[in-house]
Amino acid sequence: MNHFYFPVSFGTILMSWTSDELLHRLEWSTNRFAIYDKVKLPELFAELVDSIRGYFYQGEPLGSVPWDLIDQSEWSDFQREVYKTISLIPHGQTRTYGWVAARLGNRSASRAVGQALRKNPLPILIPCHRIQCCQSVGGFMGTTDPMRPEVQLKRKLIALEEEYENPLFPFLTPEAGRSFFEFMQTS
Domains of the chain: 2-66+167-186 (no CATH), 72-163 (1.10.10.10)
Alpha-carbon gap, residue 51 to 91, rounded angstroms: 14
Q: Which of 128, 131, 157, 158 is catalytic?
A: 128
- As to burial, measured by CB atoms within 10 angstroms (0-12 exposed, 13-18 middle, 19+ buried), residue 140 is buried
pLDDT, residue 32, reads: 61
**Is the pLDDT reported for residue 97 higher than 60?**
yes
Write the CB contacts of 11 (distance below 8 Å, at least 6 apart in sequence): 28, 29, 30, 31, 32, 153
Is there a catalytic annotation at residue 128?
Answer: yes
Write the CB contacts of 108 (distance below 8 Å, at least 6 apart in sequence): 101
pLDDT digit string (tens) for 136-183? 777 777 777 777 878 888 888 888 888 886 555 555 444 444 444 454
**Is the pLDDT reported for residue 132 higher than 50?**
yes
* Over residues 35-54, mean pLDDT: 81
* Over residues 74-97, mean pLDDT: 95
Q: How many CB atoms lie within 10 A of CB 21?
A: 13
Mean pLDDT, the chain, integer: 83
pTM for the complete prediction? 0.80
